[in-house]
A and B are shown apart, each in its own frame.
Chain A
């Protein structure tokens, strides 16, 4: 292989990428856009829920109760309302998602050791978030109850408040959140998105770049030149891999700095794994490009393949272990599944070379095998 010729092909390819407006857009804008769109679109965090309070009691106790909600990171307090009628109107106009109505004898009933009934009106239009809002409200109500009961009992029995609190809570529940300590879904979504985007974009870029030459006929120049098949394919591959590496860095920065996902593992491991993954996915794109004749077909096939593989067969949504028979085998035939484990490992679980080195080896073999297949499929002598 003559490196000078490889370099020439790569340089020509690079120039073409910079000059083709749509291709350039795909290469550099698409990954960032996908990251932002899916980052916000797939994260199901429910926060800043607009709510208001109708306080008909006007006592320190009722204000205290409202404060439990006002201080929560999940709710965003929009002020007190004069009456339930105003609450109805604002809920109907979707200015509020929730209204807490505290009745007139709230403090009096509580002080008498009785039950005070209050109401929480929740907009049920979006059922998914409504369920979570209900859970937030019940959790806060539970905490407020415990506080008031303990305070009152301590006063009545003349015991220290801590002792009463212990009596009131015989079972202490220590919750440990695994993988995602702040329960922010973007922490888990962002690493998965790096896998998804690097499965989607590199094959698309690669497939389009070869097929474009077929469509315009520029491929005949290659066929009639002294350049060898391996030199041409390598020269095509390099710029595409370089672009994807730049994108990988951008995506990593977006995930960690912009979305704030924690990165607990080794950066060296992540870099090596990502480079190998990009080689694999780009090689797949090259394979597609050799099998089709039009840009349209190249685009559709590479997009459909990438989307199906990265969403359904990578462990992004359902774990691979839950797949049955043929699907299980299918998942193992693509690099997405292995990389998903690596990226999750590097971000959330701090697993690195010592556990995942077999997967890296698989990538090396995989990329070489696909590239060799491309080499066999690519012919300078046309059939017709």
Chain B
């Protein structure tokens, strides 16, 4: 009665061995395809280094031009309050028309216009109007410029306010003040390198996890070796699994190199949470995306088409999943649609584990949808893969 057990055991072992052999072949093939191999190494190393220095979207050295019609002590004091790191005084302009021209050409972020009665108005306790022309074609930077300006003007006004209150018979020391202390969590120094490198890694992992399996599959199709595989004793499931596992392995190694070799030692990106949990969920993410890549490969006939299909899928996924633009600002229908993007869930997981030290208890509502999307895509890919040849 003991016989059947070892028999199924050996069958299972053969089944797994076949997958392992095929997966090894996939990896060897990737290593020998020079273009794809260089690309894979690049995205996990040099690309992360480049991303670290990327756009931080903060206001830095914004050129300020001044039109000072007053030329008084008070106006000069105000002008010199605009200092680095946010602003850089880029010189004076003679007329408002010239100011507009400089703004048009992008040579000034802001133009400050101080009227000729600035100091006199201050002394007479009348409102002294200062105009700030701000280029808001990049809305975010424009907003930051205006808010820093408001802060600088408020600080500049402080001594004048106190004088005015004393003159009116009040006591400036008895003014109520709300002091709002801002505490930034999970990245107290607001180091944009943390955010930039992590989001670049996630983007690249997404591209690689969709593109590599799709490319591996389409290569077999183009060269006709897929028919060879199909007449072999291998099942479609084994063929797909082998491609998936090999690419998953490549992706996990690349991620490990990127995190432990570059992001942590060079940029001090923290790894607060559990390492095994992170890589387990990264593997799940790779599986989900590979499903997407395999589905794409079944729709295309050659590598040009697969490139196009992958491009059409990756672009919205990468741009709209919430790394580069906050989800909250999107309309409700788009947010609903992005629920089906695997990256949208993996962003929660990756940032959660790396920066916040989140465990499975906090992440299950991201893990479950991601797993469900992965299983659905893989099943679809398998079904379409079988149908292509019957």
> Which A positions have Cβ atoms within 8 angstroms of B?
22, 26, 30, 33-34, 36-38, 40-50, 65, 76, 91-94, 97, 109-132, 134-139, 141-142, 144-145, 148-149, 152-153, 156-157, 159, 164, 166-181, 183-185, 187-188, 294-296, 299-300, 319, 321-322, 348
Q: Is B181 positioned at the interface, with any CB of A under 8 Å from its CB? A: yes
Chain A positions within 8 Å of B194 at CB level: 127
CB pair A50 B129 closer than 8 Å? no
Chain A positions within 8 Å of B260 at CB level: none
Q: Which of A130, A144, A145, A170 is the most central at the interface, judged by chain B CB atoms within 10 Å of its CB?
A: A170
Chain A positions within 8 Å of B132 at CB level: 173-176
Given contact pairs A115-B178, A126-B195, A142-B150, enumerate 19 new A-B contacts (beta carbons under 8 Å).
Answer: A38-B319, A44-B57, A94-B348, A110-B178, A113-B171, A113-B173, A126-B323, A149-B175, A156-B170, A157-B170, A170-B122, A170-B125, A171-B153, A174-B131, A175-B131, A178-B133, A179-B135, A296-B303, A348-B137
Q: Which of B45-53, B289-297, B326-334 contacts A (4 or more CB under 8 A)?
A: B326-334
Q: Mark B344-370, 1 if CB is under 8 A from A, else 0.
A: 000010011001101000100000000
The chain B residue with its CB closest to the CB of A344 is B137
Q: Which of A36, A127, A139, A167 is the most central at the interface, judged by chain B CB atoms within 10 Å of its CB?
A: A127
The chain A residue with its CB closest to the CB of B58 is A131
CB pair B169 A127 closer than 8 Å? no
Q: Is B168 positioned at the interface, with any CB of A under 8 Å from its CB? A: yes
- The verdict on A121 contacting B185 (CB below 8 Å), with A139-B150, A149-B175, A184-B139 known, is yes
- The verdict on A22 contacting B188 (CB below 8 Å), with A40-B330, A94-B348, A111-B176 known, is no
**C-alpha spacing A269/B239, complex, angstroms:** 58
CB pair A179 B190 closer than 8 Å? no
CB pair B334 A183 closer than 8 Å? no
7 A-B pairs with CB atoms under 8 Å apart are A92-B358, A122-B182, A128-B195, A130-B184, A137-B180, A167-B161, A185-B139
- The verdict on A171 contacting B190 (CB below 8 Å), with A124-B185, A144-B178 known, is no
**C-alpha spacing A30/B311, complex, angstroms:** 11
CB pair A48 B329 closer than 8 Å? yes
Partner of A120, one of B148, B180, B195: B180
Chain A positions within 8 Å of B196 at CB level: 127
- The verdict on A115 contacting B179 (CB below 8 Å), with A40-B325, A122-B184, A122-B185 known, is yes
CB pair B127 A177 closer than 8 Å? no
Chain B positions within 8 Å of A36 at CB level: 334
* Min CB gap B90→A, angstroms: 14
**C-alpha spacing A199/B174, complex, angstroms:** 63
- The verdict on A172 contacting B128 (CB below 8 Å), with A118-B181, A127-B192, A185-B140 known, is yes
Chain A positions within 8 Å of B137 at CB level: 178-180, 188, 348
* Min CB gap B118→A, angstroms: 8
CB pair A120 B183 closer than 8 Å? yes
**C-alpha spacing A121/B154, complex, angstroms:** 24
Q: Is B56 positioned at the interface, with any CB of A under 8 Å from its CB? A: yes
CB pair A173 B130 closer than 8 Å? yes
Chain B positions within 8 Å of A138 at CB level: 147, 151, 180, 182
Q: Which of B131, B133, B170, B352 is the most central at the interface, judged by chain A CB atoms within 10 Å of its CB?
A: B170
**C-alpha spacing A60/B362, complex, angstroms:** 36
Q: Which of B106, B131, B194, B325 is the most central at the interface, judged by chain A CB atoms within 10 Å of its CB?
A: B325
CB pair B316 A125 closer than 8 Å? no
Chain B positions within 8 Å of A132 at CB level: 140, 143-144
CB pair B106 A125 closer than 8 Å? no
Q: Which of A76, A152, A156, A178 is the most central at the interface, judged by chain B CB atoms within 10 Å of its CB?
A: A178
CB pair A30 B143 closer than 8 Å? no
CB pair B170 A124 closer than 8 Å? no
* Min CB gap B335→A, angstroms: 10
CB pair B134 A123 closer than 8 Å? no
**C-alpha spacing A132/B307, complex, angstroms:** 37
CB pair B320 A37 closer than 8 Å? yes
Q: How many A-B residue pairs have CB under 8 A?
A: 281
Chain B positions within 8 Å of A26 at CB level: 308
* Min CB gap B151→A, angstroms: 6
CB pair A185 B179 closer than 8 Å? no
CB pair B131 A167 closer than 8 Å? no
Partner of B326, one of A38, A126, A177: A126
CB pair B325 A50 closer than 8 Å? no
Q: Mark B176-220, 1 if CB is under 8 A from A, else 0.
A: 111111111111101110111000000000000000000000000
Chain B positions within 8 Å of A152 at CB level: 175-176
CB pair A171 B157 closer than 8 Å? yes
CB pair B139 A183 closer than 8 Å? yes
Chain B positions within 8 Å of A49 at CB level: 326, 328
Q: Which of A22, A131, A171, A294 is the most central at the interface, judged by chain B CB atoms within 10 Å of its CB?
A: A171
Q: Is B138 positioned at the interface, with any CB of A under 8 Å from its CB? A: yes
Q: Which of A65, A121, A136 is the most central at the interface, judged by chain B CB atoms within 10 Å of its CB?
A: A121
Partner of A116, one of B156, B179, B326: B179
* Min CB gap A246→B, angstroms: 20
CB pair B178 A141 closer than 8 Å? yes
CB pair B142 A183 closer than 8 Å? yes
**C-alpha spacing A168/B304, complex, angstroms:** 67
* Min CB gap A169→B, angstroms: 7
The chain A residue with its CB closest to the CB of B106 is A319
CB pair B176 A92 closer than 8 Å? no
CB pair A149 B185 closer than 8 Å? no
Nearest 9 interchain pairs by C-beta: A41-B319, A185-B139, A113-B174, A124-B187, A319-B106, A296-B304, A124-B184, A135-B147, A110-B176
**C-alpha spacing A119/B179, complex, angstroms:** 8
Chain A positions within 8 Å of B358 at CB level: 92
Chain B positions within 8 Å of A169 at CB level: 127, 157, 161
**C-alpha spacing A46/B194, complex, angstroms:** 20
**C-alpha spacing A206/B149, complex, angstroms:** 50
CB pair A131 B179 closer than 8 Å? no
The chain B residue with its CB closest to the CB of A94 is B348
CB pair B325 A115 closer than 8 Å? no
Chain A positions within 8 Å of B149 at CB level: 173, 175
B residues 305-326 near A (Cβ < 8 Å) are: 305, 307-308, 312, 315-316, 319-320, 323-326
Q: Is B23 positioned at the interface, with any CB of A under 8 Å from its CB? A: no
* Min CB gap A311→B, angstroms: 13
B residues 100-156 near A (Cβ < 8 Å) are: 100, 103, 105-107, 122, 125-140, 142-144, 146-151, 153-154, 156
The chain A residue with its CB closest to the CB of B354 is A125
**C-alpha spacing A30/B309, complex, angstroms:** 11
Q: Is B274 positioned at the interface, with any CB of A under 8 Å from its CB? A: no
Q: Is B36 positioned at the interface, with any CB of A under 8 Å from its CB? A: no
**C-alpha spacing A149/B177, complex, angstroms:** 7
